Structure 1
């Protein structure tokens, strides 16, 4: 198994967002533009009075309704938050989009998603945290962040490709590995310290052209998927450390 295999196992988990009787075409346009980088299919439909003016998010496989939001709240929703860049009124939908693959995330979007995973570990204060930086330069840039995290009772493991100038990060075990998946993968995985409700993972592969970094992957709060990533990292890199 590899990290790419884990991403492949999540691929195809498409969600469907059905927009019932939108108050304006601009709302539909905003939704299509925002979710363009995720596997969310946008449909427009007519409804009975109970669902008029709503967007309903459902699972493509079993058609289960995951969330519904009032479309009036989405008008003019292009204003972004300081987080991942999502409009405030989309938050009721976003929390149901874990295990949905995204495409073409840039470095800024990846950093914002990374902070969410790191914040969970910080708030928990205990447990195991794994972070893949690809290049030593990225690890160096985040050195202070991870030394702060290490002040908690966290067992932290950082990964990057080998280099002569890999920094020492206090409280963090740094693993240098010259493998394709470490060179291409950005990941942050937190085991939740045994609590499945706190387990989370962000895993993406850099599929850019070398000049521009573009990431394809997913984030998840599914403890079984988090465990698969953890098992691979532990078996592949920790047992030989």
Structure 2
């Protein structure tokens, strides 16, 4: 399965966020917050009005997460302050792996920075970053030289539209495939298999319109492992 096919699989998995026993302003607010995500927000009322205001997340197979509204908003506030922190659990963890649409360059850079920062703070493991072109990597060279100078094993992927820049601390994988040309990804694998403590995370997107990106981010270890396995098997572990 290619990276594009993985994104398409997430895109096809629409989720429904149901708001129970709350006024319409809550529903309107959540629709605004998730306007660029593959999530349908609806409003419902229980017959008894109990157990108060709460949310459920469901798909075609049924409900698989629920939380009260106050806790959900607390998690949203924490996650929006620092995307890569572990403050949001439960329902938010499921929402992380929903498709986002038409993200701007600024939002893509901000999300990428959070994953790069996590790799820096953990200080070990492996980071895989797709820049589309070498000219884009050129502008990030200092940052990636610093990351590569740590104990993190850093791999960068790009189409060679310019001469390769001088580099010494990270592996550079050059490839002219459409997948590398259209994909923006930042993937951190801390090397830990313990799901309770792992710091694995990934941002994966493709450019479908000029400078507009569609994709998802995830904290699911199995999805991160899949992306890493694909990159290693397709593009190797040593510089090309």
* TM-score w.r.t. length of structure 1: 0.82
Per the alignment, residue 219 of structure 1 pairs with 217
Q: 1:68 to 1:150 in 2, by over 3 A?
A: same
- Structure 2 counterparts to residues 169-188 of structure 1, below 5 A: 169-188=167-186
Distance 2:127 2:71 in 1: 40
Distance 1:199 1:73 in 2: 23
Question: Across the two proteins, how many residue pairs are aligned to each other?
Answer: 229
Q: CA deviation at 1:73?
A: 8.7
Q: 1:116 to 1:93 in 2, by over 3 A?
A: farther
Gaps of 5+ in 2: none
Secondary structure of the corresponding residue to residue 232 of structure 1: helix
Q: Is the 1:13–1:99 Cα contact (8 Å) retained in structure 2?
A: no
CA deviations on 1:4-23 (whole Å, 9 max, x unpaired) are 12212323222221112323
Coordinate RMSD, CA, aligned: 2.8
Distance 1:32 1:125 in 2: 37
CA deviations on 1:129-173 (whole Å, 9 max, x unpaired) are 100011223212222221222232111100111133332234111
Q: Is the 2:21–2:49 Cα contact (8 Å) retained in structure 1?
A: no
Distance 2:145 2:185 in 1: 18
Per the alignment, residue 97 of structure 2 pairs with 99
* TM-score w.r.t. length of structure 2: 0.83
Distance 1:94 1:151 in 2: 34
Distance 1:10 1:162 in 2: 30
Secondary structure of the corresponding residue to residue 163 of structure 1: coil
1:32 aligns with 2:31: yes
